[in-house]
Amino acid sequence: MTADDADSILVVTPHPDDSESSAGGTIARWCAEGKKVVLVVCTDGSKGTSDRSVKPEDLAKTREAETLNAAKVYGLAGVEFLRMPDQALEDNDEFREKIVRQIRKHKPRILLTVEPDRSYLRHRDHAMTGRVALDAIFPYSRDHLAYPEHLEEGLEPHKVEEVWFFRAEKPDTYVDITDYFEARQNALHSHVSQVGERSEERDQRTRERLSETGKKIGFPLAESFKRIKIFR
Ligand SMILES: [Zn+2]
């Protein structure tokens, strides 16, 4: 199952590489099919290293450059950096307003983000991103009295029809990414600071994982999602 041709999609990722590692094949496919895909990167990713010689502010710059490289691989329609501090996202008004603003600006039919409610170990930024994105869709982006200052800037209320969650515990939607494996891996490995250079061995491991997912639906390689219909 995939999106309609005329779709516009907003991808809301907690850290710069999360969308690539979890939904890169799907994003590549959507872009190749001519859909308008805009990526919103919530945090600056400035804590994503085990190298003690790397300064957080330098890492943040590196990760923006890596994200823009991934965007070129896909052919994204745009990238928005919210530049919130890494490991500090909260379910609060500041973060919610930023997501509502992006929804009203780009008017997506589908919003793709990370599933917030996982049973066990989860990154706090991921939980906050999924939760706040869902709240931003319903009811905030819909209602003109939520962040009414947006109206003065020409940002009208908007109804997102569907949410797709990556890293879902109980997925119900599968996308055939067999033809988009190369693009997926190239986009993912644009994040050199996180995943290093591409290698045969790593490609093979990823292929095996995507193949396991594909077996559930009959695709050679697939990515999986939880899909929620909100407005029609
Ligand atoms: Zn992350």
C-alpha Rg value of the chain to the nearest Å? 17
Q: What is the pLDDT of residues 97-126, one digit of tens each?
A: 999 999 999 999 999 999 998 877 889 999
Is there a domain that residue 3 lies in? no
- The domain in which residue 103 lies consists of 8-229
Is there a domain that residue 1 lies in? no
Is there a domain that residue 184 lies in? yes
CB 15 within 8 A of CB 86: yes
pTM: 0.96
Is there a domain that residue 167 lies in? yes
Phi-psi region of 45 (alpha: psi -120 to 50; beta: other; left: phi over 0): left
Identify the CATH number of the domain in which residue 58 sits: 3.40.50.10320
Confidence of residue 1 (pLDDT cuts 50, 70, 90): very low
Sign for the pseudo-dihedral over CA of 28, 32, 33, 36:
positive
From the CA of 129, how far away is ligand 1's center (Å)? 10
Structural domains counted in the chain: 1
From the CA of 144, how far away is ligand 1's center (Å)? 31
Q: What is the pLDDT of residues 121-180, one digit of tens each?
A: 889 999 999 999 999 999 999 999 999 999 999 999 999 999 999 999 999 999 999 999
Which of these, 190, 140, 159, lies nearest to 10 by C-alpha position? 159
* Residue 125: both structure tokens together: 């930024």
Is there a domain that residue 2 lies in? no
Confidence of residue 4 (pLDDT cuts 50, 70, 90): low
Is there a domain that residue 192 lies in? yes
What is the Cα–Cα distance from 67 to 191, expressed in whole angstroms? 7
From the CA of 125, how far away is ligand 1's center (Å)? 7
From the CA of 160, how far away is ligand 1's center (Å)? 23
Q: Amino acid identity of 171?
A: P
Q: What is the pLDDT of residues 31-65, one digit of tens each?
A: 999 999 999 999 999 999 999 999 999 999 999 99
Cβ-Cβ contacts under 8 Å for 231 (sequence gap 6 or more): 138, 142, 159, 160, 161
Interval 12-26 mean pLDDT: 97
- Burial annotation 103-133 (CB, 10 A radius, 16+ → b, else e): bbbbbbbbbbbbbbeeeeeebebbbbbbbbb
From the CA of 117, how far away is ligand 1's center (Å)? 14
From the CA of 29, how far away is ligand 1's center (Å)? 22
